[in-house]
Every structure is written in structure tokens, then in C-alpha cells.
Amino acid sequence: MGTEKRERQKANRAARIAAEEAAEAKARRIKTIRNVVLFGVGIIIVAVLLSLTTGCTSTSDSDEKADQPASRRPPTVPVRRRPPSRARSAAPPKLPSTGPENARPTTGSKPR
């Protein structure tokens, strides 16, 4: 009779240990998910704050110039544009060679 009771105790103890390990794994998983979500929310909050403080101003130079009457605007100067240049080839132009084969002979010497 003692052996059956001992077997039940071992089985219950193994089941309890497995249940505790499963509960710990679930708690770790929930904690990890919570930390990732909080980190993501923090990143979003920082990005929103940066965008609100740096780039989203309602007045800019172009808006201010448009709001000014024509008499107060600085005169506009037309921009001179260069005519489009001709397409250039990839290779540079070939220059005449200045090597000995094209050199003029000096006076009194003949090529051999």
C-alpha cells in the first residue's frame, strides 16, 4: 500500500513543478510583452514631441512674404539661366601625339 501512495506523491509533485514552470514562463512572456509595448510607446511619444517642437511651426518665410503687401516685399530679381550644354562624350578628345615618331628632324640630322 505504501508504494501506490508514494507513486501518487511523485506524480503530483511532478505535475505541480510542471505547473509552476508553466506559470513562470507565462509571467516572463507577459513581462517581456509589456516592456516592449512600453518601450514602443516611449519612442512614439519622443518622436511626437520632437516633431511638435522642431518642424511644425505655423509661420514660415514664404507665409510671411505672402502676407506682406506688395509695397513692402523686397523686389524679385529674375534668375538668369544658362542654356543647356551639349552632351559630352565619355572619352576626352584625342590630341595629336608629341612622341618621337611625329617629331620634326633637326637640321643636319637624318633619320636612320
Instruction: Flag whether pLDDT at 2 surpasses 80.
Output: no
Instruction: Flag whether pLDDT at 100 surpasses 90.
Output: no
What does the mean pLDDT of the chain come to?
A: 78
- Residue 2: alpha-carbon gap to chain centroid: 71
Instruction: Flag whether pLDDT at 61 surpasses 60.
Output: no
Distance CA 102, CA 31 (A): 85
Q: Which pLDDT value is given to residue 107?
A: 66
H/E run at residue 32: helix 2-54
Instruction: Flag whether pLDDT at 76 surpasses 80.
Output: no
In the structure, what pLDDT confidence band is assigned to residue 54 with cuts at 50, 70 and 90? confident
Distance CA 96, CA 87 (A): 23
Identify the residue with better confidence: 4 or 90: 4
Instruction: Flag whether pLDDT at 90 surpasses 90.
Output: no
| Range with lowest mean pLDDT among 12-21, 28-37, 50-59, 83-92 | 83-92
Q: Which pLDDT value is given to residue 18?
A: 97
Comparing C-alpha atoms, which of 85, 65, 62 is closest to residue 74? 65
Q: Which pLDDT value is given to residue 78?
A: 73
Burial 48-59 (b: 16+ CB within 10 A, else e): eeeeeeeeeeee
